[in-house]
Each structure stands twice: as structure tokens, then as C-alpha cells.
Structure 1
Amino acid sequence: SEFRTWFPGLRRTATEFVNPEEKPRFRILAWPNAGNAEDMYTNDSVVNARLPTSPLLDWCRKNGAEMLAVQLPGRGGRMKESFAESPQAAAKALLPIVASRLVDVPYIVVGHSVGTWLAYEFVRLAQKEGLPAPVNAFLSNFPAPDLPAEERPWTPNRGMSDQKFKDECRAWDVNEAVFGPNMWPTYKTILRKDFELFDRY
């Protein structure tokens, strides 16, 4: 289903409420950072291999919260799909898939890096369509979306050589393993497309 396409990790989280007569206390909608996939939120071992479980998933399980981590097109099981052209386009595609789940249970948004702007545009569109606002938002490691382009603390990646783009990615603390010969061809495309989301915004 389209819902599973956007939220493929829900079953893995052990936070899904499958009985329609039971509802979670909260739903958490989470957007990953540039170059990443939904499993940064839905896989216990991805965030920190030194911990037996993800602190966020652990909190969800203990507090009856359902984790809905967004899988954007162009990565994971959606590798063959076209990338989102803008945060607004991503929001427009996602909202009809999840709208019915925003009205019966309070929801929280989480976004890291470019995920903060994706979350912001999603909430703007949801409110424009008359849906409830989130009860809380946890947004990290990115400037406010109204920061003028000339004040943004990065260099636009369009026209950058491969080496300069690697240097820019390292400045964003991208894991060094990504630059290896086996991983870079895939991650280069994903990272460039994700960087374009905030370069064009």
C-alpha cells in the first residue's frame, strides 16, 4: 500500500497499533537528515551501535506512541522513484497518505537537518488543509526556514566538483564510510538531491 511505501519501518519498530479498536496515545512523524533513510528512526541498531535499543523507540514503546518515520523517494525500497523536487512537493505527496491519522490522535513532529524544513512545510500544508497542528515539534541542527539564502551556513552544491562536494559533506559530518568506492556512487546521488532540497528552498 502507499502507506507502507512511505512508512516501511513501522512494523519493525514494535510500536504499531494493529487492532483498530486500540489507538496510540501519540503518533510521531519523523523526517531524516540529508542522505539518510527512515531506518535512522525505526532500527534500534542504526543510531548508536553501543546501545541495545534506540532511546526514541524505547520511549515510544513505553509511552504508547506510534513511530511514523518518513521514507522519502529515491532511497531504500523507493530507490527507483524520482526524488522530491522541493520540501513543498514532498509535503503535498505525503499529506493525503497520512492525513486521516492526524485527526484521531495527537501527533508530534521530529526532524533532523533538512528534515526540519520538510517537517515545517508538511505542518504548514496540514494546517492550510484544516488539519490539527502537532502538539509538539522537535527540530534539530538546521537554521530557521526564513533565513535569507546569503546567510545560510553552506555552499550550494550545484556545479560543485565531486571532490568539493565530498568536502562539503564532510563539513556536515557525513560518516566517512559513505565516501568509500562501494558506497559513494549511491550516496553521492542521494546527498546531492537532498542538498538541492535546501539549496533551492
Structure 2
Amino acid sequence: MSPAEPLVAAPPRDARWFPRFGAPPPAAGTPGTRLVCFPYAGGTASVYRDWREHLGTEVMAVQLPGRGLRMREEPYTSAEPLVADVADELVRRGLTRDYAFFGHSMGALLAYEVGCALRDRGEPGPRHLFVSGSRAPHLYGDRTEHLLPDAELRGFAAGIGALGDGDQALLNGAYLDRRLPVLRADLRVCNGYRWRPRRPLGCPMTAFSASDDPVADAAEVEAWRPYTTSSFLHHLVRGDHFFLTADGPARQRLLRELRGELARLPRASGTPSDQKEPSWTY
């Protein structure tokens, strides 16, 4: 929930799902697997604005309605239509070839569900799924933070580190007041979600949990392991739920691990069945 969410220029209307930031788009033919990033509850695409330069590959971040340049749009309040619309946009834009997903908290849940939706449509699945700060899908649906009064919802946001160090003055400010409806809607998406059994994804999966995360502890993140038939790697970092937004060792390690694992993916060749798995397994 950073109060500074600048966008250099408004994106084309048909590109509103994937806003462009200050860095120019990569040149055609840029090697590497595209990383599509999903925001946490109440978050915006801007949290990923500098990831391209850190990861050395194309990074596209999903901008959900109700925030950024989509401020005037109503946010989603349930997962099913949101997942369907994101999948529609990825297919329409031709972004379902040689791609990986990253999602933090609610974003991890969305990344998983969009991956399943694309598979159901016969589209190639993600080549790697990175989940961060999120319980496994079957552990969702038992919380009611979206029903809290505004004052208590502000306190909840502060308690999980959503405002960041030094941002406590925003608790009573106009900025957070504008963001509360979006946060509440996103929490309704999470708390109303119910996992339905289906076969695991076939791509490798990497999970990140933080030592002081009150939202998703290490055991709840480890519970993602059965969601893939491929390799699973779990990293534990120091920090709270929003370790990825603080410029410290935990964020640096996250970016380093992402860069390394994306670089280890073999070059895509034709159909998913032609793609080799990484040499390591866990």
C-alpha cells in the first residue's frame, strides 16, 4: 500500500490490465520467460514497477479495477469473475506462451486460479508458479476481515505491515480512506473463496514465506506442495507479510531467487510436452 503509485503515461485503453511504468518496454525478441505478477489485497501493479531491471526479463503486472488508472472502476468482490476476466485478457493479448506467474498473498491465489483456468481452456500453462506470503488455496475462506468497521480495518492493515515503516500517519489520512473500499473488496474475494478439488498443476513451484508473517505462516505456505506434480521449493525469509515491499535483505533475496530460477528454465520449444524440467527436484 505505497502512497506513491506513479505511472508515467496512461496506457492504451485496451492495455489497462497491464500498465506501463517508467522503463521502456523490452525490445522484440528479448530472451527469457515473461513473468506475470499479481498484486496482494489492496495493492497495485506499481509494486512491481522496478522488477524488470532486477530480473533481466520481461515483467508484466496485473492492475485490478479500483486502483491506479482504474480508480473509477468498481473492484471485484468474488474470485470467479475476476479469474475469468484476467484469463480472457491474457489469451486476448497473446500472453500465454513462455510465461511464469508470481503472486503475493491474494495474488498467489489469483495466479493459481488463472493457471487452472487457462489449462481448462486448453492454453499452455505457466512454466513456473511463484507464490509468496499466501496460505495454500484449501486454507482460504475462514476469515472475516472484510466485515470489520473502517477503524478496525485500518488497524488490521497496520498490524500486518501494509502501511510500511513510517507510514502510520496514513491510518487517519485521506489516502487510506480512499483505499479502504478496494482493500475491503479484495478481502471479500479472499474470504469468500472456496477451493474445489482438481488435479495439480504440472509446472515447478517455488514458495516464499516470511518469519514474522501473521497472515501465512511457514506451515500454511508449505501446504502448497501438493498443488504441483513437478518440483517444489520453499524459501523462508526474515520479515513480515510485506517483506517484498521493503528495500532490505528479504526483498533482495526474493528477487535474486526469482532471477536465478527464471534463468534456469530451459528455452521454450513448441508445446509444453517438449519442455524439459529443471535439473533439480525436491
2: CA distance, partners of 1:182 / 1:85: 23
Q: CA deviation at 1:88?
A: 2.2
Change (3 A) 1:178 1:87: farther
Which runs of 4 or more aligned residues in structure 1 lie more than 4 Å from their structure 2 counterparts after TM superposition? none
**Percent pairwise identity:** 26
Letter in 2 for 1:173: G
- Asked if 1:67 is matched to 2:59, the reply is yes
Q: CA 1:29–1:185 in structure 2 vs 1: closer, same or farther (change >3 Å)?
A: same
AA of the residue aligned to 2:152? K
Q: Which runs of 5+ in 1 are unaligned?
A: 45-55
Q: Does 2:162 align with 1:181? A: no
Secondary structure of 2:101's match? Answer: strand
Q: Is the 8 A contact 1:29 1:67 kept in 2?
A: yes
The corresponding residue for 1:110 is 102
Contact 2:141/2:192, CA 8 A, preserved across alignment? no
Q: Does 1:136 align with 2:128?
A: yes
Q: Which residue of 1 aligns with 2:32?
A: 25
Amino acid at match of 1:160: L
Contact 1:2 1:97 in 2 (8 A): no
Give the distance between the partners of 1:68 and 1:179, measured in 2 at CA.
Answer: 30
| Shift of residue 71, structure 1, vs aligned partner | 0.2
Corresponding residue SS for 1:117? helix
Would the aligned equivalents of 1:13 and 1:67 in 2 still touch at CA under 8 Å?
A: no
Q: Does 1:101 align with 2:111?
A: no
Which residue in the other structure is 2:24 paired with? 14
Provide closer, same or farther for how the CA distance between residues 158 and 112 of structure 1 changes in structure 2, counting only shifts above 3 A. Answer: closer
Structure 1 residues 148 and 107: CA distance shift in structure 2, 3 A: closer
If the length of structure 2 is used for normalisation, what is the TM-score?
A: 0.58
Q: Which residue of 1 aligns with 2:15?
A: 4
User: Equivalents in 1 of 2:84, 2:150: separation in Å?
Assistant: 32
Amino acid at match of 2:119: Q
Contact 2:158–2:171 (Cα < 8 Å) also in 1: no
User: Deviation digits for residues 34-65 of structure 1, max 9, x if unmatched?
Assistant: 111101001x3xxxxxxxxxxx32233x3xx2
Which residue identity lines up with residue 67 of structure 1 in the other structure? V
CA distance in 2, matches of 1:90, 1:8: 17
Q: Secondary structure at the match of 2:35?
A: strand
Task: Work out whether 1:122 is the aligned partner of 2:114.
Answer: yes
- Pick from 129, 151, 164 the counterpart of residue 163 of structure 1: 151
The structural deviation recorded for 1:27 is: 0.9
- Write the distance in 2 (CA, Å) between the matches of 1:177 and 1:6: 31
Give the 3 Å change call, closer, same or farther, for CA 3–29 of structure 1 in structure 2.
Answer: farther
Between Structure 1 and Structure 2, which shows a larger proportion of helix residues? 1
Partner Cα separation in structure 2 for residue 85 and residue 166 of structure 1: 19
| Structure possessing the higher relative contact order (Cα contacts under 8 Å, 6 or more residues apart) | 1
AA in 1 matched with 2:123? L
Return the offset for 1:97. Answer: 1.9
* Paired AA for residue 168 in structure 1: F
Q: TM-score w.r.t. structure 1 length?
A: 0.79
Cα pair distance change 1:171/1:129, threshold 3 Å = same
Pairing 1:88–2:80 present:
yes
Q: Is the 8 A contact 1:178 1:187 kept in 2?
A: no
**Structure 1's 58 and 23: CA in aligned 2 closer, same or farther, altered over 3 A?**
closer
Structure 2 runs not aligned, ≥5 long: 1-11, 194-282
Higher alpha-carbon Rg = 2
